[in-house]
Amino acid sequence: MKGRTLLMIPGPVESEPEVMAALADPATSHVAPAFIEIFGRALERLRTVFSCPDGQPFVVAGSGTLAMDLLAANLTEPGTRALVVNTGYFGDRFGDMLARYGAEVTHLRAPVGGAPTPAEVDAALSLRRYNLLTITHVDTSTGVRADVQGIAAIARRHDVLCLVDGVCSVGGEALDMAAWGVDAALTASQKALAVPPGLALAVAGPRALAAFSARKTPVASYYSDWSLWLPVMQAYEARKPAYFGTPAVNLVHALEVSLAQIVAEGMAARVTRHRRLSDALKGGIGALGLNQVPLRPELAATTLTAVYYPDGVNASFLPKVAAAGVILAGGLHKEIRDRYFRIGHMGTVRPADILATLGALETGLAAAGYRFDHGASVSAAQAALVG
């Protein structure tokens, strides 16, 4: 039997062979003309993927947390007032980070599985003056998707900068920075962009760049300081050599290949694919009688699915699913960590992956002693996919 497995976790995700092949390029100089062209194209394609034609993209070696830092460090000064629209683990992280840079942080929280509404954000912004707010577009700990479009419109009305953590959304969920009035957004390579981990990606819109220019104090992080990276990003996009910190050349090439595939698929088609596959998977989960963490279907992300264990089943069933060939992830949110598991379905995911995942899930559940109608989830998902 072949030893291959299917990786269905909410990042890192599987990459297309062409993307992996770029990682095996012979070593190249970061100022070689061919690499300058690759980096320049990657930056241009990020504008398309984030839908921010007049924004400034940043590509820096590091994980998604560095991408958060690229916004937090540059847009916060001591005394900055920040509202964190908090839907779980990564909202807490953004709040901690902003506080580290001297912000006065207020969290607007929802119960586990819920998300603050635009009306609640409006009320919070009416109570006191804030400089910025952050939204986790999809909180990977709960599978909850926040209403970025609605909240960004409220933020703009209150003249508050709107920053979006799109680590679990960009390239899978709809995000239109320019049309929605999102001032800065970030992601990482290893999620819906389907590149191995190692690149922090951010796009700053005109209002975020203006806020940066109006800073009164130096940026407290050296590595994240936009003033050090801006000339480098601008040079690569103008197809000129530049240096601040050595770029992760092979990863940047892999990113460029994947972004080309994404742009060729088309953002709208890609979002539709994610929604269709997510709906099929979630239908299958429902057919097994399992409950999801998001409190209502419209709060559920299309990039991952967070599912409560049924009675009598716990995390020890995940290795049983893995033995059936599919890797899933355990819980992350501190209040429910041991009560649920997560299935990632973003990036290169296809209908056959959904069916294979549900098949392996059923095998694991059966081995864990859960009683259900065998084949019910696969059948429901197949009906949704074919119908």
CB of 139 to ligand PMP, least distance (A): 6
Gap between the Cα atoms of 229 and 223, Å rounded: 9
Is the CB of 14 or the CB of 362 nearer to ligand PMP?
14
85-120 in b/e burial notation, b at 16+ Cβ within 10 A? bbbbbbbbbbbebbeebebebbbbbbebbbbbbbeb
CB of 378 to ligand PMP, least distance (A): 28
Ramachandran bin of 133, using left for φ above 0, alpha for ψ from -120 to 50, beta for the remaining angles: beta
Is the CB of 164 or the CB of 242 nearer to ligand PMP?
164
CB of 197 to ligand PMP, least distance (A): 6
Dihedral angle over CA of 271, 273, 274, 279, nearest 10: 120
Is the CB of 136 or the CB of 377 nearer to ligand PMP?
136
Is the CB of 63 or the CB of 379 nearer to ligand PMP?
63
CB of 168 to ligand PMP, least distance (A): 4
Task: Give the other-Cβ count within 10 Å of 181's Cβ.
Answer: 19
CB of 9 to ligand PMP, least distance (A): 10
CB of 188 to ligand PMP, least distance (A): 4
Dihedral sign, Cα of residue 38, residue 44, residue 45, residue 46: positive
CB of 213 to ligand PMP, least distance (A): 26
Burial bucket for residue 61 (CB in 10 Å: 0-12, 13-18, 19+):
middle
Is the CB of 80 or the CB of 86 nearer to ligand PMP?
86
Gap between the Cα atoms of 234 and 303, Å rounded: 32
Kind of pairing between the strands at 340-344 and 304-308 = antiparallel
Is the CB of 136 or the CB of 292 nearer to ligand PMP?
136
Binding-site ranges for ligand PMP (CB under 6 A): 11, 63-65, 68, 90, 136, 139-140, 165, 167-168, 188
CB of 63 to ligand PMP, least distance (A): 3
Task: Give the other-Cβ count within 10 Å of 324's Cβ.
Answer: 19
Dihedral sign, Cα of residue 226, residue 67, residue 119, residue 76: negative
Is the CB of 142 or the CB of 363 nearer to ligand PMP?
142
Q: Tokens in use for 368?
A: 């864990």
Gap between the Cα atoms of 173 and 302, Å rounded: 7
Is the CB of 41 or the CB of 137 nearer to ligand PMP?
137
Yes or no: say if 368 and 316 are a contact pair by the CB < 8 Å rule.
Answer: yes
Is the CB of 12 or the CB of 247 nearer to ligand PMP?
12
CB of 6 to ligand PMP, least distance (A): 19
Burial bucket for residue 344 (CB in 10 Å: 0-12, 13-18, 19+):
buried
Helix axes 148-157, 118-127, angle to 10 degrees: 20
CB of 325 to ligand PMP, least distance (A): 23
Is the CB of 77 or the CB of 165 nearer to ligand PMP?
165
Three-state secondary structure call for residue 144: strand
Gap between the Cα atoms of 181 and 52, Å rounded: 10
